[in-house]
Amino acid sequence: MPVDAEKEITRLYKALHSAQDEIGKTYYRWRKVALEFAGDNVKPLDVALRAAEVFGKDIGKSFLPRMNWLKGEEGFMMILGKALAGLWITDGGLATAEKGENPGEIFIKCTRDPWPTWAKEFGVSMEEVALCRERMYQSVLEDVSMFMNIPLKIELEKAISRGQGETVMRLYKTE
């Protein structure tokens, strides 16, 4: 029986988007349950930021086997920037990593981010979405910085969830 390639690609594409949608919604379902167990004295943002740290630490450890200096410092920074952009892409976003004007400076730009849509569906503030992304990426960099012996920092400059049209994060080496 011949395979209809277009039909098969369409089926796989729909399955991918369904899985991505379920990932985001599962995170916010988890958040809701965690807040119920935490009680009234806990701030939702504190729970979300702690989760971002846990996710970031785990992701950072998974990055380590792929990090190296074979292409020099600028190559290393671009590899790291692309890996961070890839986190958005995995979730269904559109993201890129671009060299900055200064050496060792990379800008991670996201023009389509599904997280604000999921957050809105669960009544979560857009500021929480922005702060959690920044905290997660900062946590990713902790182990990468220590393992590679290079002080790294990331700053959120713009955020879709703040109504700024795109999310821009600046990744750089500190002195």
Largest CA distance in the chain: 62
Q: Please say if the pLDDT value at position 1 is more than 80.
A: no
143-162 pLDDT, tens per residue? 999 999 999 999 999 999 99
> Which residues, 6+ apart, have CB-to-CB distance to 164 below 8 Å?
158
The residue segments making up the domain with residue 109 are 5-173
Say what the pLDDT of residue 104 is. 86
Of residues 72, 57, 85, the one with CA closest to residue 145:
57
Say what the pLDDT of residue 20 is. 87
44-99 pLDDT, tens per residue? 999 999 999 999 999 999 988 888 888 888 899 999 999 999 999 999 999 999 99
CA 106 – CA 67 distance, rounded (Å): 16
Say what the pLDDT of residue 54 is. 96
129: its two tokens: 């979405």
Say what the pLDDT of residue 160 is. 95
Say what the pLDDT of residue 70 is. 84
CA 71 – CA 145 distance, rounded (Å): 17
97-131 pLDDT, tens per residue? 999 998 889 999 999 999 999 999 999 999 999 99
b vs e for 156-174, b when ≥16 Cβ sit within 10 Å of the residue's Cβ? bebbbbeeeeebbbbbbbe
CB 28 within 8 A of CB 124: yes
CB 151 within 8 A of CB 174: yes
Instruction: State the pairing for strand pair 94-99/167-173.
Output: unpaired
Mean pLDDT along residues 20-33? 92
Mean pLDDT along residues 17-37? 92
Q: Please say if the pLDDT value at position 13 is more than 90.
A: no
CA 126 – CA 121 distance, rounded (Å): 11
CB 152 within 8 A of CB 145: yes
Q: What is the CATH number for 72?
A: 3.30.1380.20
125: its two tokens: 């503030």
Count of domains observed in the chain: 1
